[in-house]
Amino acid sequence: MPTPADPLASVRIVLVATSHPGNIGAAARAMLTMGLRRMVLVDPRRFPDAEAVALASGAADVLDRAQVVGTLDDALSGCAYTVGLSARPREFAGRVHAVRQAAHEAVAHTAFGDVAFVFGTEMSGLSNDELAKCSAIATIPANPGYASLNLAAAVQVAAYELRLAAGDGDVWRAPRFEPATFDEIEALYAHGTRTLADMRFLDPQMPRRLLPRLRRLFARAGVEKEEASILRGILARIDQVLERER
Amino acid sequence: MPTPADPLASVRIVLVATSHPGNIGAAARAMLTMGLRRMVLVDPRRFPDAEAVALASGAADVLDRAQVVGTLDDALSGCAYTVGLSARPREFAGRVHAVRQAAHEAVAHTAFGDVAFVFGTEMSGLSNDELAKCSAIATIPANPGYASLNLAAAVQVAAYELRLAAGDGDVWRAPRFEPATFDEIEALYAHGTRTLADMRFLDPQMPRRLLPRLRRLFARAGVEKEEASILRGILARIDQVLERER
């Protein structure tokens, strides 16, 4: 089965027994920045709450639509794949994915229905019983001496990986300015070589490493049409000065 | 040149003109979770500040060692590679990396000296002049309708990518329990096939898809020695029941 057109619409972010409403709000903001909109709250201590709305910033809509349920089973009902986040995966005998891999698996499973990423309490995370209900356990690679990601920070990283797994990793853009053509670039090098030789900066019989280095520099930059024209202008000016000298 | 043993020790996180000290504290926490310790603050509005310490949680040490400087030039002095984060890369004509690519480039450049990731103000990010000082511009792929990552959330994602680029993406662990040997697993299948045939669940002349499916299931799970022994026990019990029936 193919994955849906927007796999992120099939992702539930499940927060279990969150203590601080501010964290729920910050998690909503983190979700929406990555295009996730479906929050499920299992037995939150305080919700709805003004602090959640304050921290949600522009993402109050995610809070308004959040589903509040009594048990983790209710939150995961109907899911084709569920991922429990844990900072202490060494305690478990099962296989543990890095969150990047888990995000890819989750997006692949959207072909079969909803998927869920499950986050435990601020103090102690998910219990072993809660993790045992999940299809997979995922961890966010972290400093072993201080792996204490804030709840919303963990949601941010997971949501970011879900967005990339769903295909938005590519920030390539069409050039905004017209690039110089092959011929313009070759004409630039030919002119430059001539001028450098006239300046006696370059011995045309022994160009050595200079020209290849210049080529490499400009190739990395990707010369635009207007820039090629500016460089030709500079060379022409040098030519005039050299001409006057003679 | 090779990269240093701990490339993350060469990474500066530079925050320019941050308004809220709480964000500085939360950024310090985000940094330390990923093993980054070198914070540079350019002209912060309020620092040091109790709110920064509160939000830093266990990462107050990063704040204590933070360097406060007057200008972005001071912050970037001596760097071999600098990355300016921007949420609006479409405004720039230059090349823009996704933060993942930028993190790889930055780690590669630690072979030549310090590298910096630069974050602008909460309200407006980095100015065009500030971005022009950077070796590269990076963006965090985000929901185009709401790309408003909190400052500390942006630092968290960048720090996470730096940690992975530096090599900590691998959460594979040695099995905690002794796996079943090849022979134990084959004996299990042989026993299971016999018992299923005795139960007339399986026609040994026409096993069809059943046995391959069972093999696939257990292979995915990775059977442990003790589990193989438990399964053999269950089969033996079924054998006894079938024996009594005869």
Check if A94 contacts B (Cβ < 8 Å). Answer: no
Q: Determine the length of chain A.
A: 246
Partner B contacted by A20 (CB < 8 A): no
B94 interfaces chain A, CB cutoff of 8 Å: no
Q: What are phi and psi of A79, to 5 degrees?
A: -80, 145
B145 CB burial (10 A radius; 0-12, 13-18, 19+)? exposed
* Phi and psi angles of residue A99, each rounded to the nearest 5 degrees, phi first: -60, -30
Q: Which residue in the block uniquely carries the two structure tokens 């796996």?
A: B179
Q: Is B107 on the interface with A (CB under 8 A)?
A: no
Predicted pLDDT of residue A3: 81
CA quadruple B104, B109, B115, B120: dihedral positive or negative?
negative
**Nearest residue in A to B167, CA atom:** A141
Three-class HEC string of B52-77: HHHHHHHHHHHHHCCEEECCHHHHHC
Note the pTM of the prediction, 2 decimals: 0.81
CB-closest option in A33, A141, A142 to B146: A33
Sheet of strand B114-119: strand arrangement: B67-69, B38-42, B11-16, B114-119, B79-85, B136-139, B96-98
**With an 8 Å Cβ cutoff, are A140 and B152 in contact?**
no
pLDDT (0 to 100) of residue A173:
47
Taking contacts as CB-CB distances below 8 angstroms, the residues of chain B near A31 are: none
pLDDT digits (tens, 9 = 90+) for B112-128: 889 999 999 999 999 98
CB contact under 8 A, B141 and A32: no
3-state DSSP assignment of residue A157: helix
With an 8 Å Cβ cutoff, is A169 touching chain B? yes
Put simply, whether B136 touches A (Cβ < 8 Å) is: no
- Of the two residues A37 and B81, the one the predictor is more confident about is A37
Comparing B93 with B182, which gets the higher pLDDT? B182
**A150 neighbourhood in chain B, CB within 8 Å:** 26, 29-30, 57, 152
Option in A153, A170, A175 nearest B156 (CB): A153
| B150-205: pLDDT as tens digits | 999 999 999 999 999 998 765 544 445 677 888 888 899 999 999 888 888 887 77
- CA distance to partner chain A, nearest, from residue B33 (Å): 5
Query: Could you give the ipTM of this predicted complex?
Result: 0.80
Q: Alpha helix locations (H) across chain B?
A: 21-33, 50-56, 60-64, 72-76, 99-109, 128-132, 151-165, 182-198, 210-221, 225-245
Tokens of A243: 């001409």
| Spatial distance between the Cα atoms of A139 and B143, rounded to a whole number of angstroms | 24
Contact across the interface for A141 and B157, Cβ inside 8 Å: no
Least Cα distance to B33 among A59, A109, A244, A144 occurs for A144
B143 contacts A34? CB cut-off 8 A: yes
Question: What are the Cα distances from residue B142, in Å, to A60, A120, B147, B213, B221?
Answer: 18, 25, 5, 41, 35
Chain B contact for A98, CB < 8 A? yes
What pLDDT score does A172 carry? 46
Q: How far is B170 from chain A (nearest CA, A)?
A: 7
Burial tier of A201 (Cβ tally within 10 Å: 0-12, 13-18, 19+): exposed
The C-alpha of B181 sits at a distance from chain A's nearest C-alpha, in angstroms, of 18
pLDDT digits (tens, 9 = 90+) for B214-227: 887 787 777 888 88
Mean pLDDT of B5-11: 94
CB-based contact (8 Å) between A109 and chain B?
no
What pLDDT band is residue B3 in, cutting at 50, 70 and 90? confident
The DSSP annotation for B171-209 comes to: -----SSPBPPHHHHHHHHHHHHHHHHHTTSS-TT--TT
> Taking CA atoms, what residue in A is nearest to B170?
A98
pLDDT of residue B92: 58
Pick among B143, B151, B227 to test the A interface (most A CBs inside 10 A): B143
Q: Do A152 and B148 touch (CB under 8 A)?
A: no
**Looking at the complex, does the CB of residue B170 fall below 8 Å from at least one CB of chain A?**
yes
In chain A, whose CA is at the least distance from the CA of B61?
Answer: A146
The answer for residues whose C-beta is within 8 angstroms of residue B105's C-beta and 6 or more apart is: B81, B83, B97, B136
**Taking CB atoms and an 8 Å limit, are A100 and B164 in contact across chains?**
yes
pLDDT tens string for chain A (246 positions)?
A: 678 889 999 999 999 999 999 999 999 999 999 999 999 999 999 999 999 999 999 999 999 999 999 999 999 998 888 999 998 765 555 668 899 999 999 999 898 889 999 999 999 999 988 988 888 899 999 999 999 899 999 999 999 999 999 987 655 444 556 778 888 888 999 999 998 888 888 877 776 677 787 887 787 777 888 888 888 988 898 888 888 877
Contact B100/A168, CB-based, under 8 Å? no
Task: Write out chain A residues lying below 8 Å of B90, CB-based.
Answer: 173
Flag whether residue B219 sits within 8 Å of chain A, measured between CB atoms: no
Q: With beta carbons under 8 A apart, name residues in chain B contacting A152.
A: 150, 153
Cβ–Cβ of A96/B171 closer than 8 Å?
Answer: yes
pLDDT category, B207, cuts 50, 70, 90? low
Q: What's the confidence (pLDDT) of residue A174?
A: 45
